[in-house]
Structure 1
Amino acid sequence: MTVDKAYKMQRDDGIYDSIADKYRDPGTVYAFQVLEGEVLAGRDIKLQAFRHLQDLARAESNQGDFPFHYSLDKCREVLGFASLCPDPTTGRPLPLALWQKALLCWSQGWRNENDERRFHRVIFSVARTNGKTYLTVILLSYQYLIASAHFQNQDMAYIAPVSQQSKKGWRYVKTTFNRLRHNQFGDWMRKNKVKVGEESVKSNTSQNQLLRLSDESGQFDSYHLAFSVHDECGDDGRIGLIKENNGKITSGQVQTFDSQSWNISTAYPDSTSSLFLDEKMLRNAMIHDDQRALDDNLLVNYSQDSEDEVSKPDTWIKSNPLLPTAGKTMLDSMTSERDTKKNDGSISEFINKNLNCWLTVKENRFLNVHDIHNAVSETPPIDIHGQTCYIGIDLSKLSDDTAIAFVFPYQTSNETHYWIEEHSWIPLNHTAGNILTKEKQDGINYRRAEQLGYCDIAKNRWGYIDDDSVVTWLADYIETNSLSVKFICYDPWAISDVLDELNQVNKWPMMPIRQTAHDLDRPTHQLQKAFREGRIHYSDDPIIQYSLTNAILVGNSAGLKVDKERYTSKIDCVDAIVDAFSRAIYEYSDINPDFDPASVKKDPLSGMSDEERHAFLMNVSF
């Protein structure tokens, strides 16, 4: 099922007939245009358009478990303000494109039963030079002058990763408020004694304040922000504080009336960013529309559906929705930039920033993010019960995780594919038993992974992993699923105790794999190739995905192997997968990797012609 098919089924069943007659606002009109194909859009925008229409259908049918309604009055209010808000550069209001109006309507029009904004959290991502700054200024100005006008002691904020970035964005905010002071809102601002400064816009009457903040300052615990715009929040890979600060912002909004936080950004090279993971989470929620998860989160992501579209300028509207109104000049400039980047070898930067695609641009990255996530399968392609499997074990060293990987080779259409599973054990001995510190340090939500059955968090008071429990879990898993274990492949470093225990449980074939580039080069290349060819499959396991994202290639003249970029990066399950893969690749091969030519006696007839062989055999005496 695709979003296009789902929409057409609903449309043809008449689900949207009354909606099309009643709702003529830009948000609904745009949703219909996207799904009818009148506007070329990427998958995420199609999902949001479908979600909007589905939610309107739920609201119109008064479903008891859907406590939201779509207020056309609020749509008119925010659009009316936007038509008066001056552009920071030109000093006069600019006409908004339909997609920009739709974004404002979706975010401000949907309300809950208390008439608060439904979406407490909004993620908006678009390529560079698509009017993001103007929309940011409209949102902040609207919140201060309209949405918060009848309240007191309201805190609002414009946030950027570092102070220097926040100053640049704040200049636009200051310019806009100063121009509004001399336009329609001058009397109101003078009456409420609104002062526009370098750090805040503040009313001495209502005590409402709009603050300039940065992630590096970390001053979020003391505020209960009714509204915030977090600019360039995809830069978490470099800053490392954005996820933590977003948590402080949203936790402070729990008891704040009608609160809303915006995360606005283009895509960044580091796909371990919390924004990338949040986009993925919301995308999955929209795909499973019937489950109605994350009803108070909105994702509006303008992005290409594939990196291959870099060669198709007619599709760039997916990530650059301003193209139709910007004219031919913008497309010509982008095409020129694309060609320049292609010639100087930095085309990935164009794909990343100008087409708003997350990818890892480092040359030594093991896999790109699309290959990693394209391998995710909602349901296993095979029943593992009784299947042949290869097992890899990577034991904990210091603060590393212990990981066991299962590789199940199988064939489909005469092509070898691999189903992969893993289970990890998470030590807490280096974080004083604190799982929160461990999660922050590693960037993985281990508690959620444990709930999903992908890991066990150390429970003893010292935070160490119990090797006995690892062996017991493995033995039980093999027995429960009646697995046919060909090899248990392991890093021989510090595994002796576990090895002894495994041999006592069962006589499974054991294979030490030295962790050298010479020994790991072939399985590393074969695993990378299988990923790129779409022959690797695994469940939506956050530990596998995050570990693969962290993996880089290192090596020497002897070959390549995977490693991690930073000490805190986790690739333990990748190491275990590579170990298992070192033997799994031979399951359907005629090659015997353990064949030793020296063990076979030389054939005395080798090198002879047929005539010579015959003469030799005829002269053999007994």
Structure 2
Amino acid sequence: MDLSKIDLKQYQDVLDKYSDDPTVTYAVSVLTGKKVAGDLIQRASLRQLMDLQRQGSDDFPYIYKPDRAERIINFASLLRDLQTNEPFVLSPYQEFIVSLLEGWIDPRVKEAKRFDRAVISMSRANGKTAIMAVLSLFNFLFGMPSHNRQLAVASADQSHANALYGYMRSQWEELKEDSFSSVQKRLKVEDNKIQMTIPSQATTMKKLSDSSTTTSDGLGHFSYAIIDEYHLFKNRDFINSITSGQAFMPYSQTIFISTAGVDLRSPMYSDYKRFSKLFEDGHYSEMDNILFLFWQQDSDDEIYEPDTWIKSNPLFELPEMKQSATTKLIAERDELIATGKRNDFITKNLNRFVNAKDDAFLTAQQIEATVIPEEDFNIDGRTVYIGMDFSAVNDDFSVGFVFPYTDDNGVHKFHLLNHSFIPWEKAGSIQAKSKQDAINYEHSEELGYATISTDPYGQINQEQVFWWLAEFNELHQLDVQAILYDAWDSKSFVAQLDEVFPEIMTIPVKQTIPQLYEPTKFLRDGIIRGQITTFDDEILQIGLSNAITVGNPSGYKINKAKNTSKIDCVDALVDALYEGMYYFENFTNIEPLKKKSMFDGMSPEQIDEYYQNISF
């Protein structure tokens, strides 16, 4: 985000009205560059000023009440820092968080909060547990509704759930013996290792974890929940069991807090991509009920720029914290790099998603950089190479399209498009397969990147694939140069192609390293160099993130770490690139056809007879 283009004078009314408000103070320090911050926090800061100015407009019903924000800040001052035993003082960035969560209300329902969802992230050891303990304890004691509040602190496993719940409970133990002794006499809070209750209000705060829950049913209906270490969740089942029913709870709020992770199939990464895109496009109004605060470095390369690490470590705004932590982090960085664990530092200490599989084909940053809007590339009438990866029982049948093109700057590029046919026989249903593969296939089908099997047994019908391809090529008037394919289980399909489309070359590609190394390397290098583009296709992006490299001294090809890690769409594109990568070069992988001889098909006797009868 270019801060030089932001004119704060247009928000002067807001700056005057809320001059002492912690959200405005923080936002101004970020937007003036006095406080170094990453792009997403710059945008979150601008969003707050814009929202404060939007109050009273017809399309924005929400109201910001500074006194509500001040109330929780004052509450926090009664707590103690459990590490130093000193009074707990919120840092400016922590005040920014709690004020946004508690200060904004929806006046259409008394005391209802504006943000019913929040995704908050920063590097580890930046005080996120302390912030969440303040918020959860405050809402347990004073939240809405006044009776029958059901709250939860939860994580993917017991250890993380214990950390947050234990911190909150310890704070309460200190509080009830001191400044809240009268409150304790009045409320008679009961607490143990798994829950805290206020019997007179029928209010309960439960500690939950996905790993210790045998079923997602019957957990309860929670109006307030904090989900810690969101990146550890493999799917949304447990989360949905907590949030189910909140649509009918006007006071509900669920907060997801976490560092970044290494699983690019996780729900957190999906949310991160979606909300980041809305922020980058300035479409804040499409998420008026969602708070998105993501402190992270803007590039993996900033691993070598300690002066920028405040972007992902917001507690560096405290000089003493920055001074003591920077030296230790530099030493940790150097050690991890020396031991081949650079990505660990990028994830945990710079708060960036990375593809941390052993021998990962590409990084998250590299995959994300390929995506362009659909309106920026029209496939109609273009030259194309088509690759096909045929389906085994549980694999997708993927069709990959490689479009060579020259951009406005004269640079040769390749646009990749995937369409996958999804079987669900082994999984039992498409919903079960989506959960198993961590891909929302029904959504991908809506976007046009997939066709879910309509076969009553959930298998792939090759006839359906054939005619889909024929109609797709006709609809978009594609100039098909060749169809390339893995020969496995392809005989009848290719025979039909040759019969119906004799003018299109069909080329088998052996699935061995000598044949696949060059197109695989071309794909990887092209993505790294910015010469390959894609659309925002979840199946393709997850396929690229699932891919690992396997090889020998002569080269490598892609593979997958486990059966449910789908890479079929990438295999199809590699096949297409086997020939497509040479489009701009005077070279081909196709062996020239031998010229037919007039003697083809003749026996030696027939040839002899020909020459006996010929006259010179």
Structure-2-length-normalised TM-score = 0.91
CA contact (8 A) 1:380 1:539 kept: no
CA distance in 1, matches of 2:545, 2:571: 13
**What is the CA deviation profile of residues 63-99 of structure 1, one whole-angstrom value per residue up to 9, with x for unaligned ones?**
2222212122211112121222222323343221111
Asked if 1:510 is matched to 2:503, the reply is no
Residue of structure 2 in register with 1:78 after alignment: 72
CA contact (8 A) 2:402 2:577 kept: yes
Per the alignment, in what secondary structure is the counterpart of residue 365 of structure 1? coil
CA distance in 2, matches of 1:57, 1:68: 11
Residue of structure 2 in register with 1:127 after alignment: 123
Residue correspondence of structure 1 range 40-439 to structure 2 within 5 A: 40-59=36-55, 62-112=56-106, 113-114=108-109, 115-148=111-144, 151-218=146-213, 221-222=217-218, 223-236=220-233, 240=234, 243-290=236-283, 292-325=285-318, 326-379=321-374, 381-412=376-407, 413=409, 415-432=411-428, 434-439=429-434
CA contact (8 A) 1:405 1:422 kept: yes
Per the alignment, in what secondary structure is the counterpart of residue 248 of structure 2? coil
CA contact (8 A) 1:3 1:50 kept: no
Residue of structure 1 in register with 2:565 after alignment: 569
Identity of aligned residues (%): 33
Per the alignment, in what secondary structure is the counterpart of residue 279 of structure 2? helix
Structure 1, 73-82 or 577-586: larger mean CA deviation: 73-82
CA distance in 2, matches of 1:111, 1:169: 26
Structure 1, 130-139 or 375-384: larger mean CA deviation: 375-384
Distance change in 2, residues 1:220/1:88 (3 Å):
farther
Please tell me the residue identity of whatever aligns with 1:544: L
CA contact (8 A) 1:126 1:266 kept: yes
Per the alignment, in what secondary structure is the counterpart of residue 28 of structure 1? helix
Per the alignment, in what secondary structure is the counterpart of residue 277 of structure 1? helix
State the Cα RMSD in Å: 2.1
Residue correspondence of structure 1 range 427-466 to structure 2 within 5 A: 427-432=423-428, 434-466=429-461
Residue correspondence of structure 1 range 501-540 to structure 2 within 5 A: 501-507=496-502, 508-540=504-536
Please state how far the C-alpha of 1:414 moved relative to its aligned partner.
5.4
Contiguous gaps of at least 5 residues in structure 2: 596-616
Contiguous gaps of at least 5 residues in structure 1: 600-622
CA distance in 1, matches of 2:454, 2:592: 46
CA contact (8 A) 1:364 1:552 kept: yes
Residue of structure 1 in register with 2:602 after alignment: none
Residue correspondence of structure 1 range 537-552 to structure 2 within 5 A: 537-552=533-548
Residue of structure 2 in register with 1:619 after alignment: none
Please tell me the residue identity of whatever aligns with 1:117: K
**What is the CA deviation profile of residues 378-405 of structure 1, one whole-angstrom value per residue up to 9, with x for unaligned ones?**
1455543322111011122111111111
Please tell me the residue identity of whatever aligns with 1:86: R
Please tell me the residue identity of whatever aligns with 1:228: A
CA distance in 1, matches of 2:471, 2:550: 36
CA contact (8 A) 2:578 2:589 kept: no
CA distance in 2, matches of 1:23, 1:504: 74
Please state how far the C-alpha of 1:377 moved relative to its aligned partner.
0.6
CA contact (8 A) 1:3 1:47 kept: no
**What is the CA deviation profile of residues 177-220 of structure 1, one whole-angstrom value per residue up to 9, with x for unaligned ones?**
10010122221222222112111111222221111111112365
CA contact (8 A) 2:132 2:164 kept: no
Please tell me the residue identity of whatever aligns with 1:48: A
CA distance in 2, matches of 1:382, 1:360: 27
CA distance in 2, matches of 1:429, 1:597: 42
Per the alignment, in what secondary structure is the counterpart of residue 153 of structure 2? strand
Per the alignment, in what secondary structure is the counterpart of residue 360 of structure 1? coil
Structure-1-length-normalised TM-score = 0.90
Please tell me the residue identity of whatever aligns with 1:293: E
Instruction: Give the one of 560, 576, 580 matched to 2:576.
Output: 580
Please state how far the C-alpha of 1:253 moved relative to its aligned partner.
2.1
